A and B are shown apart, each in its own frame.
Chain A
Amino acid sequence: KAGVTQTPRYLIKTRGQQVTLSCSPISGHRSVSWYQQTPGQGLQFLFEYFSETQRNKGNFPGRFSGRQFSNSRSEMNVSTLELGDSALYLCASSLGGDDEQFFGPGTRLTVL
C-alpha cells in the first residue's frame, strides 16, 4: 500500500507570493491533517479535513487555507507569504476516527 505523498518536496518563494501544496493520503483514508514544523515551535496543527469538510482548525491566520477533494486528496494554500512561513509542511492521513495518523515526507517551503 502506497504511503502518504506530498508534492512538491521543496519550494522556494518570495514574500507576497502565494503557494499551494498537495497531499495524497493513503488509499481508503478519509482524513487529512496538515502540520507546520519550525525549529522553534515544533510541529503545530494547521487544520484537518474529513470527507471534503474542514473538521478542525488550529491557531493560524486566515492566509492559511485548505481544501479536500472527493478522492480525499488535499491541498493547502498560503497567500501573501511571509518570511516566517518558511517551514516544513507535513500532512498526515488516517481513516478518520481515533486511529493512527500516517505522515508524508513533507514539503520544505523557503520564503525569501
Chain B
Amino acid sequence: DQQVKQNSPSLSVQEGRISILNCDYTNSMFDYFLWYKKYPAEGPTFLISISSIKDKNEDGRFTVFLNKSAKHLSLHIVPSQPGDSAVYFCAAIHFQTGANNLFFGTGTRLTVIP
C-alpha cells in the first residue's frame, strides 16, 4: 500500500524555466514532509521540508507547497538548472507515533535541458 505517490516518473524542463514536481499522500496523520534529491550511485540527500502546520516553505530556488485538504504537495524549482537533473523523492513522516521512518514516493526523474 503506497501511502506516498509520485505519479509522474519523469519530467523534462528547459534551463531557466520552472520545474514543478508533484506528490500525493493518503495518510492524513502525516505531519512532516520532505523532499530528497538523488544522483546515480549516491544516497538521497535532503533538499527541503515542510511541517503540516504550514502551507509553504522556501529555500532559495526551492519552494515546497502543501495542500492538506487535497493531501498534495509540490516542489517548485525556479529557475531550473542543469545541475538539478536528478531523481526527486518526496517523503512523509508521522512523528506522533514516535517512529521516524520515512514513507517515500517512487520518485520523479527531472531532466533540465540546457
Out of B46, B100, B105, which one reaches A98, CB within 8 Å? B100
Q: Can you list, as one digit per residue, whether each of B92-114 has a CB less than 8 Å from chain A (1) or not (0)?
A: 01010001111111110000000
Which residues of A in the span 20-40 have a Cβ within 8 Å of any Cβ on B? 31, 33, 35, 40
Chain A residues whose C-beta falls within 8 Å of the C-beta of B93 in the assembled complex: 98
Docked Cα-Cα span, A45 to B3, in Å, equals 12
Chain B residues whose C-beta falls within 8 Å of the C-beta of A58 in the assembled complex: 101
Docked Cα-Cα span, A56 to B36, in Å, equals 22
Which residues of A in the span 78-110 have a Cβ within 8 Å of any Cβ on B? 90, 92, 94, 97-98, 100-106
SS class, residues of chain A in contact with chain B: strand
Chain A residues whose C-beta falls within 8 Å of the C-beta of B45 in the assembled complex: 103
Which residues of A in the span 40-74 have a Cβ within 8 Å of any Cβ on B? 40-45, 48, 55-56, 58
Which residues of B in the span 1-25 have a Cβ within 8 Å of any Cβ on A? 2, 6
> Which chain A residues have a beta carbon within 8 Å of chain B's beta carbons?
4, 31, 33, 35, 40-45, 48, 55-56, 58, 90, 92, 94, 97-98, 100-106
Extra 5 A-B pairs, beta carbons < 8 Å, given A33-B101, A98-B95, A103-B44: A44-B104, A48-B101, A58-B101, A101-B102, A105-B41
